[in-house]
Amino acid sequence: MTSSGNKRVIGLGIVGLGGATLSMLPKFAKNAGYKIVAAADIDKDVLAAFNKDFPDSKTYTSVQDLCTNEDVELVYIATPNRFHSEHAITAFSGGKHVLIEKPMTIEIPGSIAMIEAAERAGVLLGVNVKHSFEPRVQKVREMVRIEEFGKLRLINSWRYVDWLYRPRTPEELTPEWGGGIVWRQAPHQLDIVRTIGGGMVRSVRSMAGIWDPERRVPGAHATFMEFEDGAVATSMISGYDHYDSRLLVFGPDALDPLKHAGARRELRDSLAGSAEADAAASERYGGDRAGAAVRETPGLGGGWIMGGPTVISFDHADVSFSRNGLEVFSDTERYEIDLKGPKDGRDGRLDTYYDAIVSGAPLPADGRWGMATLEVLLAIQQSGDERRELMLAHQTGSVD
């Protein structure tokens, strides 16, 4: 597109107007380096709602048609997981750069096809692992890289949440299509861990739990990872709406006990049969529940990344994510690093992609990085099924 003042503006086309897009839209709209020029979705009512808010944007009911728009330079893809590879390759065929939601796809051959298609077209492929660009994560990564407290030794990341019992689409409850918490939430957590550790995971030993016969997708995982340099990480998520790990971050008075198991209660009392799918659909753009698709905890801050404790251990300090930034527990003192500011991980993801397109800077979290996180996701399932450690083969290092 043409420049705005002295700054080049990248024309953005959005594919899929669900919850992921609702989270990203405020940042796309405010970033001076981007202009939303087009959107595509199969739901015409959703497109009509979008067009009211963005009347200068073109709307389409197919990815192919959107990719014929010459004003579109970057395509953001937020469609269901099983369509990621197809939609990305369509965009590459139109000469468009792609920013794709996590996970980049649901199997390794599809990710390889995406990477190769982008390379043939001479365009960029990035994965929207936005939380890995959050200031806390980036600051800890810097500590690791410069060995501020000695060698990285251990990363622990826990999260207990109500995910499995919020209104879910049929896609999210079908294991073959990339449904369940391992595919929907673990990519955030595992990508944060890989970013901090430098990316090169050597092996995985894990389990993925399916504990509710009426929700036949994994609702929990517990994973042990070893990095090539000897550092290790543990990560777990439970989405069964019992304990809430924000209590470990913000204290025992942070949450209203009367709202305990609220997701389970609503599902049981109000969302029987097709009502659940209808409620999930209404969380898309323009729907009655669209605000519920982007969940923040009023007064607590931090969003997804502060949903549970994360502690990083070095030779000479433990560092934890805190409400204001990072809390350091060193050999000699305890103190907090204030990282408050207007920008979060979404800004970091968009700024790094802009620099890669406009200035040719190396692109963090590119296709090969996304495939490496995908490999960990697949290993979680296989390791749990086979009850053994798995060695990895598709890992790649961080772009620092």
Of 7-11, 69-73, 186-190, 293-297, the poorest mean pLDDT is in 293-297
Domain end, chosen from 83, 113, 128, is at 128
CB-CB neighbours of 352 under 10 Å: 17
How many other β-carbons are positioned within 10 Å of the β-carbon of residue 382? 14
Q: Do residues 147 and 197 share a domain?
A: yes
pLDDT at 301: 54
Mean pLDDT for the stretch of residues 185-203: 97
Q: Within a domain: residue 59?
A: yes
Among the candidates 73, 104, 128, a domain finishes at 128
The CA angle 57-60-61, to the nearest 5 degrees, is: 150
C-beta separation of 331 from 316 below 8 A: yes
Instruction: Indicate the average pLDDT of the chain.
Output: 94
Q: Where are the alpha helices (DSSP H) in the chain?
A: 19-30, 44-53, 63-66, 84-93, 108-121, 135-146, 181-184, 186-197, 246-250, 262-270, 275-281, 345-359, 367-386
pLDDT at 90 over 70: yes
367 in a domain, yes or no? Answer: no
Same domain, 161 and 124: no
CA angle 35, 373, 306 (to 5 degrees): 70
The answer to whether residue 104 scores a pLDDT higher than 60 is yes
Whether residue 313 lies inside any domain: the answer is: yes
- 3 vs 42, more confident: 42
Q: What global pTM score does this model have?
A: 0.94
Domain assignment of residue 233, yes or no: yes
Domain total of the chain: 2
Same domain, 170 and 122: no
Q: What is the pLDDT of residue 299?
A: 47
Rounded Cα distance between 105 and 102, Å, is 8
Residue 275 lies in a domain: yes
- Whole-number pLDDT of residue 3: 63
Residues of the chain above pLDDT 70, percent: 96
In this structure, is residue 397 part of a structural domain? Answer: no
DSSP assignment of 318-381: EEEE-SSEEEEEESS-EEEEE--SS--HHHHHHHHHHHHHHH----SSBHHHHHHHHHHHHHHH
| pLDDT tens digits along 314-365 | 999 999 999 999 999 999 999 999 999 999 999 999 999 999 999 999 999 9
Among 128, 163, 197, the domain-final residue is 128
pLDDT of residue 290: 84
CATH number at 385 reads: 3.30.360.10
Cβ atoms of 203 and 392 within 8 Å: the answer is yes
> pLDDT category, 298, cuts 50, 70, 90?
very low
Q: Is the pLDDT of residue 307 over 50?
A: yes
124 and 142 inside one domain: no
Amino acid 294: pLDDT: 57
**Is 398 among the domain residues?**
no
Query: pLDDT, tens digit, for every residue of 363-387?
Result: 999 999 999 999 999 999 999 999 9
For 334, the domain range is: 132-341+376-391
Q: Could you give the CA distance from residue 34 to residue 11 in angstroms, rounded to a whole number?
A: 6
Q: 227 and 109 share a domain?
A: no
Q: Which residues pair with 160 in a beta bridge?
A: 238
What is the mean predicted confidence (pLDDT) over 8-24?
96
302 and 381, same domain (yes or no)? yes
pLDDT at residue number 107: 94
Whether residue 254 is found in the same domain as residue 198:
yes
pLDDT for the residue 304 = 81
Same domain for 149 and 294: yes
Residue 302 has pLDDT above 80, yes or no: no
Confidence of residue 4 (pLDDT cuts 50, 70, 90): low
